[in-house]
Structure 1
């Protein structure tokens, strides 16, 4: 399995499919992969998320990093792994979830909101850090955090990120973004998902190439 930095270098976007259904997830996944997105997250508060994860992993596990989001305790980590996920994303800073994921050789991205939480998650073994909710912060906050966090630790803002506000975050040191409603909402067709994903990719690809 490639490490998180390798996946982010391929495409620094995490598509968050909150509310996706198992019967549509493979077609939605195809639309995302066709546009170049290579990290796909199914939040656990979606309908039958383990089946959706299993369907994605079976079809695209060799092309994309498939993960579970909104993982709030350790009890689900093993089941997520058994479904085929290789990525565990949490909205909060829970060292137990991070450590359980690492025992199972999974990539872990916990949420954080303070330097204390960030360093605690790094100590627990996190592969990346999710700045959440990003709308409560600013690129200036991220720039200050980047000055003290390890340079190799990816920080991924999540929350109200879209094609119009990514550039200041990238300039501040964001390694990528988690994108939910700006790419997918329940009821979106694969065609609509692809159209929205392409709009974001038009912004992110030149920005990444310029680094």
Structure 2
């Protein structure tokens, strides 16, 4: 799968489940719930030691039905292991040059966490595919994206934290390229996860319809 294909899929889905899970059984429940609701992008966090195993098994079970990537990747060693386990993208809470170089070498999208515009531009100039507004998304909300996109409208941004069913429309209208969602897509039963995923995906589709109408007017 080419880097551009992966990025296009992330942008089309526009919702990414941020998953921290201890067992494979629970990972499958979450994946099934997300898929049922129309969310097919999952970030498996390396805050838990079994992240590589989860990525490998989910990739084997779902093949290309789900786009599985690695999160909380702090160094190039972890990034390489994640890629070998089948991770299709790498996300981090920080920007690390060695991780950026390694991901570019293997044509894997890298999305580092950045707080300032200077950090974001440094990451993009070095080859990052998208920047994750972290942890500032939680503090500033959707207006953050509008503020960042005003001077840099070409900057691809993923939010992480702060989005929920009540404000998802605001996030999408702000111009964010992908919204990272934690609890809504990882807590509760498979049915509850599916319902939340469905509502989030419906918001994305509605937003895209509105955008197309504006272009055609």
TM-score between both structures, scaled by the size of structure 2: 0.88
Q: Tell me if structure 1 keeps the 8 A contact 2:30–2:185.
A: no
What does the per-residue CA deviation read over 1:117-167, in whole Å, with 9 as the maximum and x for residues that have no partner? Answer: 10011012111111112112233332121122252x421111121111122
Please show how residues 5-154 of structure 1 align to structure 2 within 5 Å. 5-46=7-48, 48-133=50-135, 134-149=137-152, 151=154, 153-154=155-156
Secondary structure of residue in 1 paired with 2:186: coil
Q: What value does the CA root-mean-square deviation take over the aligned residues?
A: 1.8
Deviation at residue 169 of structure 1 after TM alignment: 2.3
Paired with 2:44 and 2:161, the residues of 1 have a C-alpha distance of 15
Secondary structure of residue in 2 paired with 1:61: helix
Q: Tell me if structure 2 keeps the 8 A contact 1:53–1:67.
A: yes
Moved beyond 3 Å, runs of 4+: none
Deviation at residue 17 of structure 1 after TM alignment: 1.0
Secondary structure of residue in 1 paired with 2:183: coil
Q: Tell me if structure 1 keeps the 8 A contact 2:112–2:131.
A: yes
What does residue 204 of structure 1 align with? 204
Secondary structure of residue in 2 paired with 1:182: helix
TM-score between both structures, scaled by the size of structure 1: 0.90
What does the per-residue CA deviation read over 1:59-109, in whole Å, with 9 as the maximum and x for residues that have no partner? Answer: 223122210101111110111011111110001122221221121221111
What does residue 164 of structure 1 align with? 166
Paired with 2:189 and 2:52, the residues of 1 have a C-alpha distance of 21
Q: Tell me if structure 1 keeps the 8 A contact 2:138–2:161.
A: yes
What does the per-residue CA deviation read over 1:181-211, in whole Å, with 9 as the maximum and x for residues that have no partner? Answer: 12213xx332222122123223222112211
Q: Tell me if structure 1 keeps the 8 A contact 2:53–2:85.
A: yes
Q: 1:176 aligns with which of 175, 178, 184?
A: 178
What stretches of structure 2 of length at least 5 have no aligned partner?
Answer: 212-217
Deviation at residue 47 of structure 1 after TM alignment: 5.0
Paired with 1:92 and 1:21, the residues of 2 have a C-alpha distance of 26
With over 3 angstroms needed to count, the CA separation of the structure-2 counterparts of 1:140 and 1:9, relative to structure 1, is closer
Deviation at residue 9 of structure 1 after TM alignment: 4.0
What stretches of structure 1 of length at least 5 have no aligned partner?
Answer: none
Deviation at residue 31 of structure 1 after TM alignment: 2.0
Paired with 1:124 and 1:79, the residues of 2 have a C-alpha distance of 22
Aligned residues: 208
With over 3 angstroms needed to count, the CA separation of the structure-2 counterparts of 1:141 and 1:181, relative to structure 1, is same
Which has the larger helix fraction? 2
Deviation at residue 116 of structure 1 after TM alignment: 0.5
